[in-house]
């Protein structure tokens, strides 16, 4: 009797329509859920911060973590797995760092890319192809940072490992151009053109390097010509001064040198004695006024000019410091001090040239100096008697 009942039930189920079967299953599920014990939702993402949490998840993040930014435990674990030396061969590690570098390069984060490529090179894997790529890619990163010297060095390292490496060759040529090494740039361009005569970019670069080299060579020649001209002028100046039989106070007492003619006084620097178009000397000269402890700097005093004229020019108007208004050209007297500290008078009717050849005059600091005092003044009495 029981057997008959079971058979009947089975047959009955198979006769259900699809709709009826679906309804039956739904009812059974509802019954099951209703039977579960109820408990609170915990440990999941908060509803208001789900997007932020999603961003951190390694499977869904849209940008690489910033340095110092805390890594999620999962991301940290994946990184350790990727870079763990116990889990990977040096070649695998080098490739992992290369891929990391390439990712950063695409994101234009060139400094981070360089760090990654450098880490890859440190693995010292045995595969020259991988190492050449690491050097080449690091050179590209350096290039975009305008570190042309480092970029060039990386190109050369890549080429040492892989001789026929068009990307590295091309970049080496570009770097040499930016470093103003035009001869070497042209040399590399010729190597590249020898392999691929249709390389238009390299042809243009070679042309630019040729032009830049011509200009650089011309500028060097111009500097040399200017330097030589200056040297000739210096020699001529020395000869002219030497012919005047002027005595100089010099450190080593040897032959007169250009350095003996360089002005030592602050005001006179860059106003060295020079030769005019008639072969005459024009000197920077210091007038000293010991009564008031002041000086005047005369930038160009022609050796054939007499002191009287220069005094008239300098004292055309009373200087501020001349409170008593007694520094009038006709009242002024000119003195210099010899090497024994004795004072000598120079008549105002003398030329500068004549004064400089006075048997007691010693020229020092490349700048003739003279004291100016009022005739008969107390100051004159004081200084002359000393």
Partner 1 sequence: MESLEEFLQFLTPETRLDLKVLAVEQVLGMTGKEEGRTLLHKELKVLQHLTKLTGDKVPGVARDACLALVNLSADEEGALAILSDEHIRSERLEFVGQMVELALDRESPLADPALMVLSNVTRPSQLTGKVLALMVRDDGDDTYDETKVNELLERLLGALTATKYNNVGASLHYLGPLLSNLSQLPIVRRYILNHEKKVIHRLIPFTEYQDSLVRRGGVVGCLRNCCFDLDEHSWLLGEDVDILPHLLLPLAGPEEFDDEDNSKLPVDLQWLPEDKKRENDPDIRRMLLEALEQLCATKVHREYMRDHNVYIILRELHKWEKDRQVLLACENLVDLLIRKEEEIGEDNLHSVEVPEDLVQKFEKMDKEFLEDS
Nearer to partner 1 by Cβ, of 15 and 200: the residue is: 200
Structural tokens at position 219: 């500028």
Helix (H, G, I), strand (E, B) or coil at 337: strand
First to last CA, the chain: 157
Pick one of 228, 236, 342, 360: the residue that binds partner 1 (CB under 8 A): 228
Q: Does 215 bind partner 1 (CB under 8 A)?
A: yes
**# of chain residues touching partner 1 (CB under 8 A):** 11
Characterise 68 by phi-psi region: left (phi > 0), alpha (psi -120 to 50), beta (else): left
Residue 148 Cβ vs partner 1, minimum distance, rounded to whole Å:
25
Residue 353 Cβ vs partner 1, minimum distance, rounded to whole Å:
31
Beta strands in the chain (DSSP E): 274-275, 281-289, 294-302, 332-337, 343-346, 369-374
Interface with partner 1 by CB under 8 A: which range of 16-24, 214-222, 326-334, 340-348? Answer: 214-222
Pick one of 57, 122, 222, 244: the residue that binds partner 1 (CB under 8 A): 222
Residue 214 Cβ vs partner 1, minimum distance, rounded to whole Å:
5
Q: Does 249 bind partner 1 (CB under 8 A)?
A: no
CA atoms within 13 A on the CB side of 118: 10
Q: What share of the chain is helix, strand, coil (3-state, %, to 5)?
A: 55, 10, 35
Q: Does 224 bind partner 1 (CB under 8 A)?
A: yes
Residue 292 Cβ vs partner 1, minimum distance, rounded to whole Å:
47
What are the phi and psi torsion angles at 294 (to 5°)?
Answer: -125, 165
CA 3 – CA 1 distance, rounded (Å) = 5
Interface with partner 1 by CB under 8 A: which range of 84-92, 117-125, 158-166, 219-227? Answer: 219-227
Which residue carries 């002027």 as its tokens?
Answer: 246
CA 58 – CA 52 distance, rounded (Å) = 12
Residue 174 Cβ vs partner 1, minimum distance, rounded to whole Å:
20
From residue 283, give the alpha-carbon distance in Å to each of 183, 306, 313.
Answer: 47, 13, 16
Q: Which of residues 344-383 bind partner 1 (CB under 8 A)?
A: none
Q: Which of residues 150-209 bind partner 1 (CB under 8 A)?
A: 203, 207
Q: Does 218 bind partner 1 (CB under 8 A)?
A: yes
Q: How many residues does the chain have?
A: 386
Q: Which of residues 65-84 bind partner 1 (CB under 8 A)?
A: none
Residue 207 Cβ vs partner 1, minimum distance, rounded to whole Å:
8
Choose among 317, 321, 305: nearest CA to 368: 305
Residues 6+ apart with CB under 8 A from 301: 282, 283, 284, 285, 310, 352, 368
Q: Does 214 bind partner 1 (CB under 8 A)?
A: yes
Helix orientation angle between 110-122 and 128-144, rounded to the nearest 10 degrees: 160
Nearer to partner 1 by Cβ, of 29 and 201: the residue is: 201
Q: Does 234 bind partner 1 (CB under 8 A)?
A: no
Interface with partner 1 by CB under 8 A: which range of 84-92, 164-172, 222-230, 253-261? Answer: 222-230
Structural tokens at position 348: 């105002």
Strands 294-302 and 343-346: unpaired
Pick one of 225, 235, 269, 300: the residue that binds partner 1 (CB under 8 A): 225
Nearer to partner 1 by Cβ, of 122 and 214: the residue is: 214
Residue 206 Cβ vs partner 1, minimum distance, rounded to whole Å:
9
Interface with partner 1 by CB under 8 A: which range of 223-231, 291-299, 325-333, 374-382? Answer: 223-231
Interface with partner 1 by CB under 8 A: which range of 151-159, 212-220, 253-261, 284-292? Answer: 212-220
Residue 167 Cβ vs partner 1, minimum distance, rounded to whole Å:
24
Give the footprint of partner 1 on this chain (CB under 8 A): 203, 207, 214-215, 217-218, 221-222, 224-225, 228
């Amino acid at each position: 009797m029981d057997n008959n009942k079971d058979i009947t039930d089975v047959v009955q189920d198979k006769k259900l329509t699809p709709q009826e079967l679906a309804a039956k299953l739904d009812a059974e599920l509802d019954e099951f859920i209703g039977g579960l014990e109820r408990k609170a939702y915990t440990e999941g993402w908060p509803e208001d911060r789900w997007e932020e949490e999603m961003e951190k998840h390694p499977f869904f993040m849209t940008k690489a973590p910033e340095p110092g930014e805390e890594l999620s435990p999962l991301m940290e674990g994946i990184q350790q797995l990727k870079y763990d030396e116990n889990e990977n061969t040096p070649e695998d590690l080098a490739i992992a760092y290369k891929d990391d570098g390439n990712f950063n390069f695409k994101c234009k984060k060139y400094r981070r890319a360089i760090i990654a490529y450098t880490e890859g090179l440190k693995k010292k894997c045995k595969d020259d192809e991988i190492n050449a790529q690491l050097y080449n890619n690091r050179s590209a990163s350096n290039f975009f940072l305008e570190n042309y010297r480092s970029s060039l060095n990386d190109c050369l390292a890549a080429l040492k490992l892989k001789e026929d490496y068009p990307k590295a060759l091309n970049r080496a040529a570009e770097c040499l151009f930016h470093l103003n090494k035009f001869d070497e740039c042209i040399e590399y361009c010729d190597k590249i053109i020898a392999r691929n005569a249709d390389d238009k970019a390299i042809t243009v670069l070679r042309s630019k390097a040729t032009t830049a080299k011509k200009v650089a060579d011309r500028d060097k020649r111009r500097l040399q010509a200017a330097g030589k001209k200056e040297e000739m002028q210096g020699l001529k100046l020395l000869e002219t001064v030497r012919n005047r039989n002027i005595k100089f106070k010099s450190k080593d007492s040897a032959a007169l040198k250009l350095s003996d003619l360089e002005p030592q006084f602050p005001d006179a620097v860059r106003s060295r004695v020079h030769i005019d178009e008639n072969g005459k000397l024009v000197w920077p000269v210091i007038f000293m006024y010991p009564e008031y402890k002041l000086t005047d700097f005369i930038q160009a005093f022609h050796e054939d000019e007499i002191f009287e004229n220069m005094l008239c020019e300098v004292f055309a108007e009373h200087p501020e410091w001349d409170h008593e208004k007694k520094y009038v050209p006709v009242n002024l007297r000119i003195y210099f001090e010899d090497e024994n500290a004795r004072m000598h008078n120079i008549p105002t009717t003398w030329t500068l040239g004549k004064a400089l050849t006075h048997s007691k005059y010693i020229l020092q600091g490349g700048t003739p100096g003279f004291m100016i005092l009022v005739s008969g003044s107390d100051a004159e009495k004081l200084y002359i008697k000393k």
